[in-house]
Chain A
Amino acid sequence: MTRDLGIFAGVILTVAVLSAATLTDVPAAEDAPRSAVLQAQTEAQRIAAGKRLYVQNCMHCHGLNMVNPGNVTFDLREFPRDEKARFVESVTRGKNNMPPWRDVLSADEIDALWAYVRAGGQS
């Protein structure tokens, strides 16, 4: 979805090895955002990987770069930066009108999303 698709070239093998070690149900396909998550070494890479997952899964409700009016959907820029457990819980299981993601996103991916959200939607 984003312009830096280059980073996932050649990581198929890495994905195959690492995905066995992730915690929740792992989607079968080696798609680009997922590969970026697994490749991420630095915080910046994690945030960038989180952004790709965000665009792919969350943007159509939470807005471009996390900007939305906050009256229909939660304004993620306001999400408390010290409540990771709540973030993981809400994203995993869903909350009211917020759909659950546990069958789509792995724990690693939710971690990357958290990095992106904590960074305030920047990358």
Chain B
Amino acid sequence: MEATICHLTPYNALSPPSAEAGFRCGRTGMKIAVWAAGLALLAPLAASAQTAAELASGETSSVLTYGMGYHQQRYSPLEQINKNTVKRLVPVWNYSFDDNRSEESQPLVYKGVIYVTTHNATMAVDARTGNQIWKTKVNYAAATPRIVCCGIINRGAAIFDGKLFRTTLDANVIALDAKSGKELWRQNAGDIKLGYSMTMAPLVAAGVVVTGVSGAEFGTRGYIDGWEAETGNHLWRTYTVPGPGEPGHDTWAGDTWKYGGGTTWITGSFDPQLNTVYWGTGNPAPFNTAVRPGDNLHTCSVLALDPQTGSIKWHFQFSPNSPFDYDSVAEMLLATIEVNGVPTKVILHADRNGFFYVLDRTNGKLIGANPYVQMNWASGIDLETGRPIETDVARKARAGELVTVWPSILGGKNWPPMSYNPRTGLAYANTLNFASNYQAVPADYKAGQWYLGMDMAAGWTFPDGPRGYLKAIDPMTGKSKWEAPSDLPRFSGTMTTAGGLVFTGGYDGELQAFDADTGDKLWKFKTGSGIEGQPITWEQDGVQYVAVTTGLGGVYTLFSGDTRLASVPAGGSLWAFALAPQ
């Protein structure tokens, strides 16, 4: 086994801040030099609290942000667990959440402590032993879940300056003391009576706690908030759906903007050098397009934001006037890839609409967009305008006819995040392979009630065979280098490593490791419930760990009617793995 410099560096070793610092921790002498320089420069700052520089670093003893780095590549330079050694990967402990809902939280790791969330608790756990250090309950009114569309969940915390930040189902943002779990501040960010809820992990960018909201299925109007980390003071709110006088307001008819959706329920990414946050926005409300003629900015879009002010630097809309619930909230993954031979700072985004996008993140210009799943609503993307070239399926759907649309309203890929491995140049995504039977119906807005405008009872069209594929996607073509099919679609995040592996989970409860180059399944372990979580890895005292939450109950469990899941017990917990001695 090849030791890397990463294993030898102390906890607080830091590489220079960069959106993509993650893969600088490697083997070459040059990279070691960069690493050491970063260490010398930043060590004094890293005494006990998490600094902005730490959050931006790619150091491997911690997992400090949603997405394993501001870039959200979910890539680790660690390689103790690799293609050869992964067969020795064994569980080292299991920690019960005492909860039987869906567990979608991405754990964070800092100085040997794991911080993890459920819908009703925040927990600190000793990373080596699995012992609970503290657990702080989250209380919300029993009526709250009435307006939570797609699973009673939470997706994780953010850490900064000795504090943990998280959101709650009843739309509060709270800060906890990371040492004790004591609540430090709490701010309300939305009214559950209007259908607002929160499930996403906050982002701390340039010292500002940034949060989004859920609730487009209830006719809410989406926004993103900035909060002062120390006090919780509200700094700014940027509505995704522009109000009167704001640019884009004219893409809405009459009052429709007030209930226009465009919620912001997945964490944005951040480029510290460009000082820009990239945040995806959700579907317009209701689904029925007859209610809301126009492009409906900025739904189904990405917004480039200034984290200090929330002002919009640029936007790009993936699906104008979408009928099909094609949220664009999923990760805006930041990478540098060669475009026509030139290393280019891009966003990689596998949209629910079935196209894999490459955007220039300095200006929002479209570089490429290609299908990565079966689709029939559009035949391509016009690279000049960025607009989809729609087919009859979309036109008929808009006219109120019953259509079978690929991908389904759950998308070519739903929220579970993909990863990107700079060594293979591939994005690893859990994709979905089924269609919706779609028909628009009238929608009446009533505060706090479903505002869908679609006949949900029309259901799905499922193919025989696999309903999902883990795909290794070439960003520039959308084509797969390999595909790993699965009868039950996978709804777990993916994570990839310099050890040449891709980790992900299945609804059957298996945590799985694939060869990143070939897609061969090299390892699996049954976790006891279905995995909808987000695998992470870190190293501590020379040992590389992998952790993931297990526990089914998310959107597919609830809406698919897939009774095969009846054989998968509920029950949330956190598993940690490491290599057994040889």
| A binding-site residues for B, Cβ under 8 Å | 1-3, 5, 29, 31-32, 51, 55-57, 59-61, 63-65, 67-73, 75, 94, 97, 99-101, 103-104
- Whole-angstrom CA separation of A82 from B377 in the bound complex: 47
Contacts of A72 in B (CB 8 A): 100-102, 552-553, 557-558, 570
In contact, A99 and B143 (Cβ under 8 angstroms)? yes
Q: Which B residue's beta carbon lies closest to that of A71?
A: B570
Minimum C-beta distance from A29 to chain B (A): 5
Contacts of B563 in A (CB 8 A): 67, 69
Partner of A31, one of B142, B446, B558, B570: B446
Minimum C-beta distance from A65 to chain B (A): 7
Minimum C-beta distance from B218 to chain A (A): 10
In contact, B444 and A32 (Cβ under 8 angstroms)? yes
- Cβ-Cβ contact count across A and B, 8 Å cutoff: 99
Q: Which A residue's beta carbon lies closest to that of B439?
A: A3
Contacts of A3 in B (CB 8 A): 439, 441, 455
Known: A72-B102, A100-B142. A60 touches B457 (CB 8 A): no
In contact, A71 and B565 (Cβ under 8 angstroms)? yes
In contact, B446 and A1 (Cβ under 8 angstroms)? no
Contacts of B441 in A (CB 8 A): 1-3, 5
In contact, A68 and B558 (Cβ under 8 angstroms)? yes
In contact, A68 and B561 (Cβ under 8 angstroms)? yes
Known: A60-B559, A64-B456, A103-B143. A70 touches B444 (CB 8 A): no
B145 contacts the other chain (Cβ, under 8 Å)?
yes
In contact, B568 and A71 (Cβ under 8 angstroms)? yes
Binds A, one of B73-81, B146-154, B246-254: B146-154
Known: A63-B558, A97-B145. A31 touches B444 (CB 8 A): yes
- Whole-angstrom CA separation of A57 from B101 in the bound complex: 19
In contact, A56 and B558 (Cβ under 8 angstroms)? no
Contacts of A2 in B (CB 8 A): 441, 455, 457
B566 contacts the other chain (Cβ, under 8 Å)?
yes
Can you report 5 residue pairs joining A to B where beta carbons are below 8 Å apart?
A31-B449, A65-B561, A72-B102, A94-B142, A103-B143
- Whole-angstrom CA separation of A73 from B457 in the bound complex: 19
B144 contacts the other chain (Cβ, under 8 Å)?
yes
Contacts of B38 in A (CB 8 A): none
Q: Give the interface SS of chain B, mostly helix, strand, loop or mixed.
A: loop
Contacts of A31 in B (CB 8 A): 444, 446, 449
Contacts of B565 in A (CB 8 A): 69, 71
Contacts of A99 in B (CB 8 A): 142-146
Bin chain B's interface residue count.
35 or more
B98 contacts the other chain (Cβ, under 8 Å)?
no
In contact, A61 and B457 (Cβ under 8 angstroms)? no
Known: A31-B444, A55-B456. A73 touches B558 (CB 8 A): yes
Contacts of A64 in B (CB 8 A): 456-457, 459, 559-561
B569 contacts the other chain (Cβ, under 8 Å)?
yes
B437-481 CB contact bits vs A (8 Å, 1 = yes)?
Answer: 001011110100110100111010000000000000000000000
B384 contacts the other chain (Cβ, under 8 Å)?
no
Minimum C-beta distance from B568 to chain A (A): 7
B562 contacts the other chain (Cβ, under 8 Å)?
yes
Partner of B569, one of A63, A71, A97, A100: A71
Known: A1-B455, A5-B442. A97 touches B101 (CB 8 A): yes
In contact, A60 and B561 (Cβ under 8 angstroms)? no
In contact, A61 and B558 (Cβ under 8 angstroms)? yes
- Whole-angstrom CA separation of A103 from B562 in the bound complex: 32
In contact, A69 and B449 (Cβ under 8 angstroms)? no
Known: A1-B455, A1-B456, A72-B570. A63 touches B442 (CB 8 A): no
In contact, B450 and A1 (Cβ under 8 angstroms)? yes
Contacts of B144 in A (CB 8 A): 99
- Whole-angstrom CA separation of A32 from B145 in the bound complex: 23
- Whole-angstrom CA separation of A40 from B456 in the bound complex: 22
Partner of A29, one of B102, B143, B446, B552: B446
Contacts of A71 in B (CB 8 A): 100, 552-553, 565-566, 568-570
- Whole-angstrom CA separation of A97 from B557 in the bound complex: 16
Minimum C-beta distance from B98 to chain A (A): 13
In contact, A68 and B459 (Cβ under 8 angstroms)? no
Contacts of B146 in A (CB 8 A): 57, 99, 101, 104
Minimum C-beta distance from B428 to chain A (A): 27
Minimum C-beta distance from A9 to chain B (A): 11
Minimum C-beta distance from B309 to chain A (A): 36
- Whole-angstrom CA separation of A113 from B150 in the bound complex: 21
Q: Which A residue's beta carbon lies closest to that of B566?
A: A69
Known: A1-B452, A5-B441, A64-B457. A97 touches B149 (CB 8 A): no
Contacts of A94 in B (CB 8 A): 142-143
In contact, B452 and A60 (Cβ under 8 angstroms)? no
Minimum C-beta distance from B160 to chain A (A): 32
Minimum C-beta distance from A34 to chain B (A): 10
B544-582 CB contact bits vs A (8 Å, 1 = yes)?
Answer: 000000001100011111111110111000000000000
Contacts of B444 in A (CB 8 A): 31-32
Q: Which B residue's beta carbon lies closest to that of A4?
A: B441
Q: Which A residue's beta carbon lies closest to that of B507?
A: A69
Minimum C-beta distance from B290 to chain A (A): 13
- Whole-angstrom CA separation of A72 from B565 in the bound complex: 10
- Whole-angstrom CA separation of A64 from B556 in the bound complex: 11
